[in-house]
Structure 1
Amino acid sequence: MTSLPSNPSHIWWCATGPLAFLPIHAAGIYDTPDPGNCISDFVISSYIPTLSTLIDNPQVTTPHSFQLLAVAQPNAPHHSPLPGTRKELELIKSRAEGVPFVPLIDDGATMENVLRHMGEATWVHFACHGVQDISNPTNSSLILANGSQLKLSTIIDLSLSHAELAFLSACETATGSKDLSEEAVHLAAGMLLAGYRGVIATMWSIGDVDASRIADGVYSHILMGGKPEYTQAALALHQAVQRLRLQGASFLSWVPYIHVGF
């Protein structure tokens, strides 16, 4: 029987061209119950949009008191309801006991409020619809109150020197454009450009129920003991996904989730 590492290594994937659309982190043989046949059995995977992202490895430069901003939009106009986003924020709030926590839900999650609080928050969590614009990727967006759109073009213009972690619990937040396969033009990459050092995102659509389970697993680790630690986000996601996978969840439940950056 293959001996699995108790402390797996951390590997960064910098995929280009058609490879950028493949879930490399999930590669493996799944028609056997024996462990040791999947990449995730041996390493923690992260992605980077360019090699310079890894080489430059920018540090958080501005001393700043910690704050977690959590945004939920359960009932965006012209989009299917996401009732699980309320539960998602409740679970995060319970994990954030003892740390500054700012929830923006429904009508409170206006563009103005979200951008203002992003300027103050160290971490940000979005539980809402995500839309990938194939014809113009910079119009890809997160859907906020009254159907307003926080677009990629707006995100990349932000400059947040104190930002650490962005969790995009929405569909298609790390889906690139086939017409720009050599470039990472998606919401997750935009968050890196805005100043966030790490981003949890999705390669395609995700389930409403699965999202809250993944989020709860991640925050239980990175807020353990009331001590925020964004550098543990990749490991936390790895463990949350592994739990979902071992519980017999379908591939579409856990494969879309990825960590980008540091």
Structure 2
Amino acid sequence: MDLLRRVCTSADGQLSLLHRLKTATFWADAAYTSAHPYALEAYRTSLQLAECAFVAYPICEVRHDYVLKETQSVATDAASCAIENKDLTIAVEMLEQGRALLWSHLRKLRPPLHMIESIDPHLRDDLLRVTQALQVFALSFDASTQDDDSPRTPGSAMLIDDVGARFKEHRKLVTELDTIISTLRKVPGMERFFLVPSYDMLRDVTSEGPVIIVNHSKHHSDALILLHGGSPTRVPLDRGFYQKVLEMTERLCQAQTYLGKKPKKYEKELREILADVWLLLGRPVRDALVSLGVDKGSRVWWCPTSAVSALPLHAAGPETIASEQGEAKRRKRYYFQDFYVSSYTPTLSALLEARKYASVGQAAAGRATQRNPPDKPSLLVIAHSGGNLEQVPKEVAIMRAIHRRFKRTKFLQGRDAKRESVMRELREHPWVHIACHGSLTPGEPFKSAFRLSEDDRLTLADIMGSRIPNAEFAFLSACHTAEQTQGSASEEVLQLAAAVQFCGYRSVIGTMWAMQDLDGPSLVANVYESMFAEAGYPDEMGFKRAARALHSATRQMRKDGAMLEQWVNFVHIGA
């Protein structure tokens, strides 16, 4: 163990970062298995090396393929080790440090420049220059990632042929950034600049409701419930949870081949999976929330890790409960949805970011109440009814019918829905509704896309490079928008909905798999009706009503006799 420790912590340059990372993960697992006191230190070292190795590679696909896949279980196993040591706050910090490295790195490259301005304007300018240059590298892709007709970014691999020069320039910028960071950390109050948020900083994520982290580890799995003003509460999960989740996600993936072809077979498989999710996770978490005093009907946020992120936790169930009506007794089936209003978040930092307001208008919207409603937002509707999307025109008609709810409404359809025009108009409208085909490319997450027309797409890579500062709400009425591509790094949450949230949208509605075309119009009508209803929760106005609006609309789908896969498919992400 001492030899492994020396190899991993040595900075003599004899071993590559990737080699040291692989050695550190081996050291950590070996130390944990043998109950060695170095175990937690070994996992800390692995997480630090994972970050360093990630930053060292300038091309997005390289980071994903060669670094992220080497570290897929490091954060969850590290958290498991911390939980076993009863260090629950450290477990939360480790998960935040080691998951979603891509999104976390990009978020760091958009620092709060206004804070630096008052410290040193020249340092602020240097930081802006370096982070913008690093963003070009961070968002550059191999030529194969982009369509032949897609515009090339300044950092595109198509424009930089000399790989050696590329790495050299990137390394120079990283070194310059490290110098700036070191200078800033010497300023009182800036000691944690660019560091992973501490638990004291992360705990603000519970200001509007509990957050449930589900840690999926080969060592042991747990749910950690974070409540406002308190320490995390551990909910130990079944010893077989780890393997059963892997089996369930594989079953769900295989079952989706039946979707649209053998609906009854898919329904049966989905029903069995949801029942297992309830027994393994839904019921233990529900019981813990009740014991912690969380009222029925409250909002909760799920933060799943690893393969758990592919499961519809919000729809776990049912639990059959006997009830009395007059003299008659009957048994009623309850899903998790009947107890709490669920939202999802990829990480705690993503949810904290979604609750920030980048403008005075957004701050007003965030503080809005029924007595002080927010200003009307402007809406962008992007629609493409090609292929078999016969209901999209009805969906567009519904949006036209409610246009008076908005300050102004812009519709992009057909030839008007070009990638360049879409990206331009997104910056002008805080709300967006997208109704079109959504597509995934197995093994190539950055090619996930919205089909804007027969020959134009808006890809995940396009969205990653965008920044929509005044964005609020996005309704992604398309297939697969909250689903990860098969073969992608599961801890990176590389899906369209997460990308839309990252680029600025604080509240997002998406889909976990292919949606039925017939579901669009009625669901859309019910969601927007609930969002603009006068009655409701006084502290939730504007985009913050989306979660309850979706919750209400999907419960109505159940009452109307919808199949499981129809109402379970829709999820809310963010604030």
User: TM-score, normalised on structure 2?
Assistant: 0.42
C-alpha RMSD of matched pairs (Å): 2.1
1:152 partnered with 2:441: no
Deviation at 1:214, TM superposition (A): 1.1
- The alignment partner of 1:224 has SS state of coil
Deviation at 1:31, TM superposition (A): 7.3
Contact 1:16 1:183 in 2 (8 A): no
Distance in 2, matches of 1:249 and 1:31, equals: 19
Contact 2:448 2:460 in 1 (8 A): yes
Residue from 83, 101, 107 that aligns with 2:415: 107
Q: Unpaired runs of 5+ in structure 1?
A: none
Structure 1 runs (4+) greater than 6 angstroms displaced: 30-33
Q: What is the match of residue 175 of structure 1?
A: 483
Residue from 449, 463, 483 that aligns with 1:141: 449
Contact 1:48 1:260 in 2 (8 A): yes
Contact 2:354 2:504 in 1 (8 A): no
Distance in 2, matches of 1:209 and 1:189, equals: 25
Deviation at 1:52, TM superposition (A): 1.7
1:97 partnered with 2:408: no
Residue from 388, 394, 399 that aligns with 1:87: 394
Contact 1:63 1:162 in 2 (8 A): no
Distance in 2, matches of 1:50 and 1:248, equals: 34
Residue from 415, 436, 439 that aligns with 1:131: 439
Q: What is the match of residue 269 of structure 2?
A: none
Which residue identity lines up with residue 453 of structure 2 in the other structure? A
1:67 partnered with 2:406: no
The within-5 A match list for 1:46-57 is: 46-57=343-354
Q: What is the match of residue 335 of structure 2?
A: 38
Which residue identity lines up with residue 153 of structure 1 in the other structure? A
Render the CA deviation track for 1:92-146: whole Å, top value 9, x for unaligned.
2222324211111222212122111101001001000000122110110000123
Render the CA deviation track for 1:155-180: whole Å, top value 9, x for unaligned.
11111110001111000001113431
Contact 2:463 2:499 in 1 (8 A): yes
Distance in 1, matches of 2:331 and 2:527, equals: 26
Residue from 316, 326, 338 that aligns with 1:27: 316
Deviation at 1:192, TM superposition (A): 1.1
Render the CA deviation track for 1:23-77: whole Å, top value 9, x for unaligned.
00110117788446211001000000112223444423124572100111001xx
User: Which of these two proteins has the greater Rg computed from alpha carbons?
Assistant: 2
1:224 partnered with 2:537: no
The within-5 A match list for 1:159-238 is: 159-178=467-486, 179-224=488-533, 229-238=542-551
C-alpha change, 1:116 and 1:232, in structure 2 (3 Å) is same
Moved more, 40-49 or 57-66: 57-66
Distance in 1, matches of 2:420 and 2:354, equals: 30
Moved more, 82-91 or 172-181: 172-181
Q: What is the match of residue 305 of structure 2?
A: 16
The number of residues matched between the two structures is: 252
Contact 1:36 1:42 in 2 (8 A): no
1:244 partnered with 2:557: yes
C-alpha change, 1:240 and 1:158, in structure 2 (3 Å) is same
Contact 1:60 1:163 in 2 (8 A): no
Contact 1:118 1:124 in 2 (8 A): yes
Which residue identity lines up with residue 229 of structure 1 in the other structure? G
Distance in 2, matches of 1:137 and 1:26, equals: 26
Contact 2:460 2:499 in 1 (8 A): yes
Distance in 1, matches of 2:475 and 2:354, equals: 19
Distance in 2, matches of 1:91 and 1:48, equals: 29
Higher relative contact order (CA 8 A, sep 6+): 1
Identity across matched positions, percent: 35
Distance in 2, matches of 1:92 and 1:217, equals: 12
C-alpha change, 1:39 and 1:131, in structure 2 (3 Å) is same
- The alignment partner of 1:149 has SS state of strand
C-alpha change, 1:56 and 1:69, in structure 2 (3 Å) is closer
1:121 partnered with 2:418: no
Which residue identity lines up with residue 11 of structure 1 in the other structure? V
Higher helix share: 2
Q: What is the match of residue 276 of structure 2?
A: none
Distance in 2, matches of 1:48 and 1:98, equals: 28
Distance in 1, matches of 2:569 and 2:309, equals: 13
Which residue identity lines up with residue 393 of structure 2 in the other structure? R
Deviation at 1:147, TM superposition (A): 2.6
- The alignment partner of 1:201 has SS state of strand
Deviation at 1:191, TM superposition (A): 0.6
C-alpha change, 1:113 and 1:57, in structure 2 (3 Å) is closer
Distance in 1, matches of 2:315 and 2:574, equals: 18
Distance in 1, matches of 2:405 and 2:543, equals: 16
